[in-house]
Amino acid sequence: MEQIQDCKNYPVVKSNKLIEAKYKLTLNEIRLVYVVISKIKPEDEEFKRHSLKIQDLLKMFEITTNDYHLSIKKILEDLSHKSITIADKSEKNRFLVANWFASAEYIGKEGIVEIELSTKLKPYLLQLQSHFTIFGLDKILKLKSSYAIRLYELLYKEYCYYVKNRINFIFSIKELKAMLGIEKNEYLKFNNFKRKVLDIAEKELKAKSDFYFEYKTIKTGRAITDIEFIVIEKEKREDNKQKQLTQDRSPSQTP
């Protein structure tokens, strides 16, 4: 059985429709879902039951209490009640509401949890040929904010879809909140949304990720209605800094 730490670089492969779906998970819930997804192999035609070591989950969830089985039980039970809504943009008024897991079984005497994904998610995770995005599981496990994880994959999907020829992407606040699973009565004031979601995600991605974002607000009349994200790839930023430093240090040439 593979350990979670051994598969940090396993790819998480998701249909773009699944990335754009509407859902809200806690940090530990989203970590668990992505670990299970990372275990899917390209040749898989059906979902399999995946075994995860309880000791690995304790490390990932940062659980240190003696009654850890209750903590894991709560995560599994809470996750079983949380749905994901996937829109079909090709057909008006058609969408799918599904659960993430078909089952999650805690087997204490074997020290494992066995999880199987919901069959309704098969079109979005199995045998993907186009319109999908791949990123490393390690990029997700190091983040501490579920909003940072969601913004990472949403912006990474856009960035890769445009073959890195574009770095500016605009989302309406209404659309963005929906994808992040933020309820209509949450963060009604933009400053709260900015402080609790955007700024936290921006800071964490800048510190821990391979790319980060900066953002600008767009107004319609007096109201802020849209966010323009500017994606910055760290490696390119460092290369540009080095080039500029080299140019600044090179002796000036006169014709």
Please count the structural domains in the chain: 2
Report pLDDT digits (tens) over 14-27: 999 999 999 999 99
On whether residue 9 sits in a domain, the answer given is yes
Q: Does residue 82 sit in the same domain as residue 148?
A: no
Q: Does residue 45 sit in the same domain as residue 154?
A: no
Domain with 80 in it: 1-141
- CA distance linking residue 215 with residue 227, whole number of Å: 7
Residue 78 has pLDDT above 80, yes or no: yes
pTM: 0.86
- CA distance linking residue 134 with residue 105, whole number of Å: 28
pLDDT band at 92; cut points 50, 70, 90: confident
**Rounded mean pLDDT, 88-94:** 82
What pLDDT was estimated at residue 160? 80
> Which one is predicted more confidently, 203 or 255?
203
Interior/surface letters 64-83, b for 16+ CB within 10 angstroms, e for the rest: eeeeeeebbeebbeebeebe
**Rounded mean pLDDT, 182-191:** 93
Quote the DSSP letter at residue 251: P
On whether residue 187 sits in a domain, the answer given is yes
Q: How many CA atoms lie within 13 A of 114 on its CB side?
A: 8
What pLDDT was estimated at residue 21? 96
What pLDDT was estimated at residue 241? 46
Vertex 172 angle, CA 207 and 167, to 5° = 50
Report pLDDT digits (tens) over 144-161: 999 999 999 999 998 887
Q: Does residue 185 sit in the same domain as residue 220?
A: yes
Report pLDDT digits (tens) over 94-109: 999 999 999 999 999 9
On whether residue 255 sits in a domain, the answer given is no
Q: Does residue 135 sit in the same domain as residue 228?
A: no
Residue 134 has pLDDT above 80, yes or no: yes
